[in-house]
Structure 1
């Protein structure tokens, strides 16, 4: 055993190289440095101003990078939290498919055929899988070509939209929005916010707020869209969009629009029809084919080109459907309803018509054939007989004797919707069209149509106004005339005399009972139509004369019920009411009004094959011209005038209004059997037959016999 005492124990292995070798190898290793490292070391030692600023810049860049990275992380966390929160608030898919703010109203004519749609039409739920593949492709090609690849927001699309807006001189968020279909869907559901009447004054304000495009709103919209992408599949998002999007003509959703314009389900659309519906999404009210078919077809041609560019159609298919564009179905062309539909909507309760939240069906009194011939007659008359550039307006009402309105035109634009309705809303002076109520009062009191009145200069002292002297239109007087002659010539003086004789209060009562319910002028001018009424009221009042003297309330609504149900919620509020005058008085008045057409001022209204009764009317300074008349089947009223009360030039009730009435009734009565008017011709009073006079010789004998008898009586019988 060896001893280690006095020696230190080796703690490491011996060098594997000799001492000299190790030394020679170690020196280069310690002293040599890589070129790069030598360069770095040199830079670190560089001082002065350049070194200071270089270091400062590097420090700033490192700071910016760290802040940016931190901010990105924070924003990502906030965004993720916001998306997660919205994700948890999103409802089930089915609750998002029908998002209408109000219900629909479907109006049926007297035969049960649809003639007008109002409110928000919804044809039923569709999905991206059940609609026509062409429609799905057209919508994606037009609205969001990268729909199936993005996560709800398309940064490229937003940047492109901002660039286009700035280039066109608008604000970055004005004009093109760059929104994806998902973002548009988020906007359609109003980011999950429901309408609250305590927050918004109206649904219009609510919708406007939902469509706002501020930067904050865009950010919320993006978050909501990302959450929707996480919650629903692409096809489910597209389904919500296809059900909620407004496509013009009152149609919400693809199914309602398809039925509205093409009378077919959305599953059966061809490429041309699908392109037209997809094209509506940019401007549904302006491009609706019911409003502007040509503009709608032009937009569809652009959509077809986009479908070709993105591979959904071949070039041959694109050209085929561009050359043969979609057109409205025959049923869609007839839909509208115009003034009549607007009037019916106004006549029903708001909660079942204009503000309904339910889908409602209204059965009406409209006869579409009568409506069409009425509109055609008005258009033809104005085209042929009214001076070009004239602003004169017209209104026509056709109704049955019970007050059921069969046709209505409220202006020269005969099938307009949403415009001022002169048939039901224009309150105008009635002129001589009021005179039948004066003579109805006299007949009810027992006067005869053959009773006489003197047509001579006549003046009355009116308290507060002084002396008033009515004059006839012709400025002539005709002496003693019958009541019938006074009416058929529309003489003013006899009408005032009769009114004052029977009592103005009774005339007012009869007129009101017949349906002229507005404030009636309690002055002698009452008999000349100084009071005002609408054409609808006047036509209804004349219907009361035709039906035998009972009042009439004009009506267009027959039955109102919820869609899918048969039990009515309400029925008609109109029809025949209380008796106003005796039936015999009404029949005699009809006879007098018949003479107006056959022998008086209403000659231009005469029909070639049947009896007509009516009355002309011209108000003060010819501001209004009327003809209201009837056959045994229908009562029709015509009014002409200017909206601003400008006097008519060369037009009286016996002129154009009577001619329009004639043209309308030719069409209305076509094909109907001829029926006589319900009238009674008065029986002239019996004149005692003259007794035969004795011959002169016989008269002398008779006188002598009488004288002898007198003498015998005086002399005592001898």
Structure 2
């Protein structure tokens, strides 16, 4: 009771020392955190949770299937690669993959001037070619060549990206192929050409160049097998030997010889860059097609080489300052018309369809060839109106028929073009007249025998009456044979032909080498027959050599590469005698007068004697000039391919000027030689007698020849008739 009125004290805990907190257990904390995280996720967006769950499931399915599929694919690729590996031959068997052989043409001095077929200069190794060529090819075609196993995924992805960005399909355009894959394609994945299995070689090549996805897959397998079988140097060697580099050249050595006249081991930076640049489009970029385009492409390659560290600064400056140039042989554009003619004249199995490497030595003189080409260009540039479609052809040969130069058209730097010198048969016009007078001279007439040039008509069975006319539409009375040829009178030529006999004139012309069909009527004497320029030039060569026939030829010797013994020799040259040597020499003098004082004056040379004959056909569709010096025979034809008449052109005009321009260049620097002619003192034409035969012999009898006597009081007896009677046994 005593404490009942007292206030109670507040309840206060005893002052104690606080306990230290225990450190949490990390394992326990993580275990507690996981349920918390799961609870947090469960508390998240249900849609998100659903999407994530589907994605996780898809990934597990893809991964589960993907690695199994990848394993199977790798297994199949490995097995396929292994099988291909077992089929790959030794490297040496893969270096030359041409289906055809090559033809190398040499001029008269033994220098190469043309190539034909699949040119192969010999096998090279990546280690033996110029390092610049090796580096240029790698820099251009496959800069990771030494790093990939045959297939470059980075390169493929880059190519697909470029193709898509340029609006093409993923496999169209840039292929991303490595050098190894390109080599596999060049090998056609090991499939060799067999004529029995393919419609044509072109179909085989087309199949090898397929770009389908399945083909790319097979190509990749083949490339992997090659990488396993061969070294990188082996693969690059195959590529350098098999790649087509334009101009008929297969392989680096052939291309180096074709374009630069040197070995692939000595190529400069600029030359190597040009060859490497051809790999993308060999026919289009070939320097023989367009040297400027090739040089521009080479400049790009040089830049790639510099970017990838293959060139020093000095080498870069040198290459850019001195772009590659073609050799003289390459400048000749593969021999042009002459090379085509030689190839056509040789046996087909050794020229056009050869499977061997063939060497052909020819008669070509490159100096003379250039002289003919330059003369053609000079006249057409300075004397022919702009826009004219007229064509011309030139043949230069020796007196034995060896062709030294040939131009088959105004475009001289061509190959495989229509050759107007050998393939165009055209009427010869008055260029045929020397064979008429050759016949008369051989039968005993002299150049001073006379014939009356007046109105003359012949009744032709089935055709009616035919009356030839002179070019100037005038009659000239009694003229000598020399005068008639000098001024190219038509009526005397027909009279002489009819007098000696057309058949005999035709025989002489054929034996001189004119193989074309000759006209049967009296117009034969005026060149109504057709012939080629090569035939006509060869026939004139027979006159120069003293009256013996010649067969024009260009092939001297054919042999296989590596062999010393020729398989065949020249197929032409001097043949049998056609007319007497004395007759030929007198005819040469008559033809010399044509140039000195007649229709061929524009062909006259200032420093040496020349002889020749003009020819112009009806309506001036063809104009000819053929002639010779003591050294060479040259024929010129001019006209239109479609037989359109020439305007203001005769054989004594532009053709004679082309002939003169050609011979000035051909004879430049050569010693002057006189023509082998029998010089005759001309006599003035005598007054026309009241009664005249078509042909009068010289009043001075020759040894062994009697003076013609009058017959029946009207005309002299034609001595040719007596000679023909004796020849025919009449």
Say yes or no: TM over 0.5.
yes
Aligned length: 657
**TM-score of the two chains, using structure 2 as the length reference:** 0.84
Instruction: Give SS of 1:337's match.
Output: helix
Per the alignment, residue 351 of structure 1 pairs with 349
Q: Secondary structure at the match of 1:453?
A: strand
Cα deviations by residue, 1:266-299 (Å, 9 ceiling, x for unpaired): 3333322322221221222332333333222222
CA distance in 2: counterparts of 1:261 and 1:311, whole angstroms: 27
Q: In the TM superposition, what is the alpha-carbon distance from 1:259 to its structure 2 partner?
A: 3.2
**CA shift for structure 1 position 351:** 1.7
Match of 2:718 in 1: none
> What residue in structure 1 maps to residue 523 of structure 2?
525
**1:197 partnered with 2:195:** yes
Q: 2:511 aligns with which of 507, 510, 513?
A: 513
For the 8 Å contact 1:185–1:237, the answer to whether it is kept is yes
Aligned match of 1:428 in 426, 429, 435? 426
Shift of 1:332: 4.7
**CA deviation after TM superposition for structure 1 residue 186, in Å:** 0.8
- Residue 142 of structure 2 corresponds to 144
- Residue 617 of structure 1 and its aligned partner are, at CA, apart by 0.5
Give, in whole Å, the separation in 1 of the partners of 2:429 and 2:261.
48
- Render the CA deviation track for 1:327-354: whole Å, top value 9, x for unaligned: 3345654573222122111111122122
Post-superposition Cα deviations, 1:176-213, rounded to whole Å, max 9, x if no partner, equal 22111011111111211112122334433333332232
Matched, 1:498 2:512: no
Query: Partner residue of 2:539?
Result: 541
Candidates 594, 597, 605, aligned match of 1:596: 594
Q: Is the 8 A contact 2:333 2:413 kept in 1?
A: no
Which of 694, 697, 700 pairs up with 1:686? 700
Q: How does 1:280-429 map to 2 (within 5 A)?
A: 280-329=278-327, 332-333=330-331, 336-429=334-427
Q: Secondary structure at the match of 1:649?
A: coil
Structure 2 counterpart SS, 1:500? helix
Gaps of 5+ in 2: 1-26, 682-697, 702-730
Q: Name the structure 2 match of 1:88.
A: 86
Q: Is the 8 A contact 1:409 1:415 kept in 2?
A: no
Q: Which secondary structure does the structure 1 equivalent of 2:608 belong to?
A: coil
Secondary structure of the corresponding residue to residue 334 of structure 2: coil
Distance 1:674 1:322, change over 3 A: closer
> Structure 2 CA distance, aligned partners of 1:331 and 1:345?
17
Question: Residue in 2 aligned with 1:552?
Answer: 550
CA distance in 1, matches of 2:156, 2:461: 78
Instruction: Name the residue aligned to 2:16.
Output: none
**1:114–1:335 contact (8 Å) kept in structure 2:** no
1:388: how far off? Answer: 1.7
Is the contact made by 2:332 and 2:413 (CA closer than 8 Å) also made in structure 1? Answer: no
Give the Cα–Cα distance (whole angstroms) in 2 for the partners of residues 548 and 561 of structure 1. Answer: 33
Partner of 2:443: 445
What is the alpha-carbon root mean square deviation over aligned residues? 2.8
Bigger shift: residues 301-310 or 675-684: 675-684
Alignment-derived partner of residue 109 in structure 1: 107
Residue 242 of structure 1: SS of its match in structure 2?
Answer: helix
Distance 1:609 1:312 in 2: 59
Deviation string, structure 1 residues 441-485 (Cα, Å, up to 9, x no partner) = 222333332223222223333334333322211111222222222
Query: Greater shift after overlay, 189-198 or 567-576?
Result: 189-198
* Structure 2 CA distance for aligned equivalents of residues 643 and 174 of structure 1: 43
> Against the structure 1 CA distance between its residues 331 and 480, is the aligned structure 2 distance closer, same or farther, given a 3 Å change threshold?
closer
**Which of residues 618, 635, 659 in structure 2 aligns to 1:661?**
659
Task: Report if the CA contact (8 A) 1:439-1:498 is conserved.
Answer: yes
Superposition deviation, residue 34 in structure 1: 6.4
Counterpart contact for 1:612–1:631, Cα < 8 Å = yes
- Cα pair 2:517 2:529 within 8 Å, conserved: yes
Partners of 1:303 and 1:51 in 2: CA distance: 57
- Alpha-carbon deviations, 1:214-253, whole Å to 9, x = none? 3332222122111111111111111111121122333322
> C-alpha separation between the residues in 2 aligned to 1:81 and 1:463?
88
Deviation at 1:631, TM superposition (A): 1.5
CA distance in 2, matches of 1:456, 1:538: 29
For 2:50 and 2:302, how far apart are their aligned partners in 1?
A: 64
8 Å Cα contact 1:110-1:366 kept in structure 2: yes
For the 8 Å contact 1:117–1:335, the answer to whether it is kept is no
Cα distance, 1:676 vs structure 2: 2.5
1:270 aligns with 2:240: no
Match of 2:623 in 1: 625
Q: Secondary structure at the match of 1:251?
A: coil
Residue 542 of structure 1 deviates from its aligned partner by 0.7
The gaps in structure 1 that reach 5 residues or longer are 1-28, 688-718
Match of 1:675 in 2: 673
Question: Distance between the aligned counterparts of 2:40 and 2:377, measured in 1?
Answer: 99
CA distances 1:363-421 after superposition (whole Å, capped 9, x unpaired)? 11111221222222221122211112212111111111110011111111223222222
- Indicate how the Cα distance of structure 1 residues 510 and 331 shifts in structure 2: closer, same or farther if over 3 A, else same: closer
